[in-house]
Amino acid sequence: MSNIDKEKYKTKIFDYGYDGEGVGELNGKVCFIPYTIKDEEVEFELTKDNKSFAQGKLTDVLEKSEKRIEPKCPYFGVCGGCSYQHMPYSEELKIKEILLKRQLKKVDFEGDVDIISSPEELRYRNKLKLFVGDSKVGLKVRSSNKICPIEDCLLVQDKISKAIVPISNFIKGNNLYKFIDTLTLRQEEDNCLINFSLKVDKDINYQGLYLLLGKDYGIFQTFRSKTKHILGLDKLVKEEYFLNLKFSPLSFHQVNSKVQNLLYDCVLSKTIGDSVINAYSGSGLLSGILAKRFGRVTGVELGEAEHHEAQELKEENELFNLINIKGDCAKILPRLEGDTLIVDPPRGGLQKEVCQAISQKNFKRVVYISCNSATLVRDLQLLQGYKIDKAYLFDMFARTGEYECLVVLSRK
Ligand SMILES: C[S@@+](CC[C@H](N)C(=O)[O-])C[C@H]1O[C@@H](n2cnc3c(N)ncnc32)[C@H](O)[C@@H]1O
């Protein structure tokens, strides 16, 4: 950071940045100021001053937008989780639509983007990661490694929410700040698994916490990538799409189950032909759903826990037409053929080898699901011989700066 001072500046917000932060102007440079709304006149302190842009911290709203509302969460503005609680959800969706369209314009797509909102604005998340340190348990402060202690997070489902204070008290009461690094809570239906990730190997007695939380919870502990079950529930179970599902505490799952199902329904409706490849397939739910509808389905997933869960799902549901390959898409994908290819990579996007393989192969359709429109667009620029037929925005992460997008590609 450079040129930091406590001087106050003023600007009018005229646009939005990638994360939904307002964009104003300072000495001829754009200045990104979170928690502001277009057309507002705001006062701010400078937090970063680079050659091409600056960043500011809102200190006062001098002329308020009529769209401004009181945030429901007391930590809003400090905690780095949410970006849009100062405006109605409908406004947030309009901004996200503008941001995605702006990205897609870079690949000459100027068609409509279908917006699929989250049925729930709050209490939709089935997963929460809390950070421990500095005698605090909480979420990260925006653009910082500091911890913002919390007693609740309005985005998470009820069982997760109810466990936050007992867990914080347990860590405080037993002075465990030095030993625990992070903890992850995951809820399905009325059950919740908690995994404590340790910095050092330590025998921790979780009995008191478990007695307080009760039979709907399960406690796990991870040290150096080894996870062991300690007390209570050892898995989460659920039935969805006529499939029996089991969830472990650490494997990847979409965080907003209702939007996930809308996303998967869309993928099903866009899948054509008989043979389908589901690359970056996670814990295999989408592969399982596809296998109920299509002749031959191949899932490719690198993660150990995810692959294991996908295999359990296949066996439990007797999906003999589904093959789950454990491996790196960069190595496996060049060897596979199919009618429809589905890719759903992590935020970093597709590997170069995967883009090359897609360009060289003759998939009738490619469905690209992405949680990062910047890497989506970078990859689309690398894919040769395909055009975008349709684009969607699925608001998997309501009230935060993130969203999921899906583009349907066919051969030119
Ligand atoms: C965004 S998640 C998608 C999961 C799945 N499609 C779903 O809907 O739950 C990305 C997945 O890609 C996996 N992954 C990351 N890098 C990979 C790679 N190089 N090859 C295969 N899988 C990878 C991760 O473990 C994660 O499960």
The pLDDT of residue 6 is 79
The one-character DSSP state at 356 is H
The residue type of 164 is I
Residue 89 near residue 398 (C-beta atoms within 8 A): yes
Residue 302 CA to ligand 1 center (angstroms) comes to: 7
Pocket of ligand 1 contains residue 253 by CB under 6 Å: yes
The pLDDT of residue 5 is 53
Residue 117 near residue 91 (C-beta atoms within 8 A): no
Residue 334 near residue 353 (C-beta atoms within 8 A): yes
The terminus-to-terminus CA distance of the chain in angstroms comes to 46
Residue 319 CA to ligand 1 center (angstroms) comes to: 21
Return the CATH architecture of domain 93-120+250-411: 3-Layer(aba) Sandwich (3.40)
Q: Tell me the domain boundaries of the chain.
A: 1-68, 93-120+250-411, 127-236
Q: Which tokens in the block code for residue 268?
A: 């099903």
The one-character DSSP state at 143 is T
- Candidates 2.40.30.10, 1.10.10.10, 3.40.50.300, 2.40.50.140; CATH matching 1-68: 2.40.50.140
Residue 410 CA to ligand 1 center (angstroms) comes to: 23
Domains 1-68 and 127-236 share a fold: yes
Strands 136-140 and 127-133: antiparallel
Q: From the alpha carbon of 347, which atom of ligand 1 is closest?
A: 1
- Cα separation values, 337 from 6, 332, 404, 411, Å: 59, 11, 26, 15
> What does CATH list as the number for 127-236?
2.40.50.1070
Task: Quick: pLDDT tens for 272-327.
Answer: 999 999 999 999 999 999 999 999 999 999 999 999 999 999 999 999 999 999 99
Task: Quick: pLDDT tens for 12-64.
Answer: 999 999 999 999 999 999 999 999 999 999 999 999 999 999 999 999 999 99
Residue 240 CA to ligand 1 center (angstroms) comes to: 20
As a whole number of angstroms, the distance between CA 268 and CA 141 comes to 39
- What are the φ/ψ torsions at residue 170 (nearest 5 degrees)? -65, -45
Q: From the alpha carbon of 306, which atom of ligand 1 is closest?
A: 27
- The H-assigned helical ranges of 106-157 are none
As a whole number of angstroms, the distance between CA 343 and CA 336 comes to 13
Strands 29-33 and 226-232: unpaired
Residue 330 CA to ligand 1 center (angstroms) comes to: 12
* Nearest Cα to Cα of residue 392 among 407, 410, 374: 407
pLDDT along the chain (412 residues), means of 10: 70 96 96 98 95 95 98 96 98 98 96 97 98 96 95 98 98 96 97 97 95 97 95 95 90 95 98 98 97 98 95 96 98 97 98 96 96 98 95 98 97 90
Q: From the alpha carbon of 330, which atom of ligand 1 is closest?
A: 19
Longest dimension (CA), the chain: 66
The one-character DSSP state at 59 is E
Pocket of ligand 1 contains residue 400 by CB under 6 Å: no
Residue in this structure with the two tokens 């600007």, named with its chain if needed: 11
